[in-house]
Amino acid sequence: PDEARIPVFRDHALNEKDYGIYTGKSKAQVRQEVGDEVFQLIRRSWDYEIEDGESLSQVHARVVPFHLGSVVPCLERGETVLVGSHNNTLRAYVKELEGIPEDEVGGIELGTAEVRIYEFDPSTLAISGVTSHRFGDVH
């Protein structure tokens, strides 16, 4: 029945980080082109600006309004919300939810097909619990 359907919402705020001039290239190609040090900055730095692309801080700047405008109202109504996205976008989201400092964001490890469950206190919406589950190697 239609009543049992779960509503699905799409939002550009959950798109993967824009890798700009590196879009379409493999990790190996980019690493060879820029070297290991810059490669790690491209992948994990908070504020490294990619030409024609985004830094992780810019991804964070679009994730936060999505959370406040789309997720928080659902939580206030006591609803369960599932957010699915890409690794860097979720890293920026985890930074926001867990209050992780900018200089530690690069260390957030999120596995492919990992599910992170946040429980929120219904009266304050503060996080009251976090659990993670990995479902093996999914490619």
Each residue of 55-76: pLDDT tens digit?
Answer: 999 999 999 999 999 999 999 9
Give one DSSP letter per residue of the chain, joined into a string: -GGGPPP----GGGSPPP-GGGTT--HHHHHHHH-HHHHHHHHH-SSPPPTTS--HHHHHHHHHHHIIIIIHHHHHTT--------HHHHHHHHHHHHT--GGGGGG----TT-EEEEEE-TTT--EEEEEEE--S---
| Mean pLDDT, residues 124-134 | 91
pLDDT at 112: 85
Q: Is the pLDDT of residue 109 over 80?
A: yes
> What is the number of structural domains in the chain?
1
Q: Is the pLDDT of residue 7 over 70?
A: yes
For residue 118, tell me if it sits in a domain: yes
For residue 138, tell me if it sits in a domain: no
| Mean pLDDT, residues 44-64 | 96
For residue 5, tell me if it sits in a domain: no
For residue 123, tell me if it sits in a domain: yes
For residue 115, tell me if it sits in a domain: yes
For residue 7, tell me if it sits in a domain: no
For residue 104, tell me if it sits in a domain: yes
Domain that holds residue 30: 16-133
pLDDT at 5: 80
Q: Is the pLDDT of residue 138 over 60?
A: no
CATH number at residue 62: 3.40.50.1240
Each residue of 95-107: pLDDT tens digit?
Answer: 999 999 999 999 9
